[in-house]
A and B are shown apart, each in its own frame.
Chain A
Amino acid sequence: MPADDLERVYRWGWLPLIGGCVAVTAAMLAASELLFIHYGFADPTRLQRVLHLVRGAVMSFALALFAGWYMLRLRQRVEAARESLRAQQAAFARRAWKTEQAVGLGALCRLLVHEISDPINGLSLHCRLLERAAGRMEPTDAEPVRRIAAQLRDDTERLQGLAASYVEGNRAPGSSERYQDLSLEEIVRAAVAAHPCPEGVEIVVEAASDLAPVHAEPDRLRQLVEYLLRNAIDPPAGSHRVRVSMTNDGNRVLLAVADDGAGFEDPASVFRPFYPASSLRASLGLAIVRDVAREHGGDTRAANREGGGALLSVRLPMGERTS
Chain B
Amino acid sequence: MSRLLIVDDDRVGVSALAALLEDDGYQVVALTSSAGGLEALSAGGFDAVITDLEMPGLHGLELVRAIRECSPTLPILIVTGYTNSPAAATAVAYGARRVFPKPVPYEDLLAELGAALPH
- A residues near B, CB below 8 A? 113-114, 117-126, 128-129, 132, 156, 160, 164, 167, 171, 175, 179, 215-216, 294-299, 317
Contacts and interface: CB of A to CB of B under 8 A. Distances in A.
Contacts of A297: 53, 59, 61, 82, 85-88, 90
Interface string B85-96: 111101000000
Given A121-B13, A121-B102, A125-B13, A299 B20 contact: no
Task: Kindly state the interface size class of chain B when it binds its partner.
Answer: 20 to 34
A121 B104 contact: yes
B112 interface: no
A294 B82 contact: yes
Give the interface SS of chain A, mostly helix, strand, loop or mixed.
helix
B47 interface: no
B103 A124 contact: yes
B38 to A, nearest CB: 16
A120 B102 contact: yes
B86 A117 contact: no
B84 A122 contact: no
B86 A296 contact: yes
B45 interface: no
CB-CB nearest 10 A-B residue pairs: A297-B87, A117-B81, A125-B16, A122-B12, A124-B103, A118-B10, A121-B102, A122-B13, A117-B102, A121-B103
Nearest to A119: B12
Contacts of B85: 294-297
Given A129-B20, A297-B86, 12 more contacts: A120-B102, A121-B79, A121-B102, A121-B103, A123-B103, A125-B17, A126-B12, A129-B23, A294-B54, A295-B85, A296-B87, A317-B87
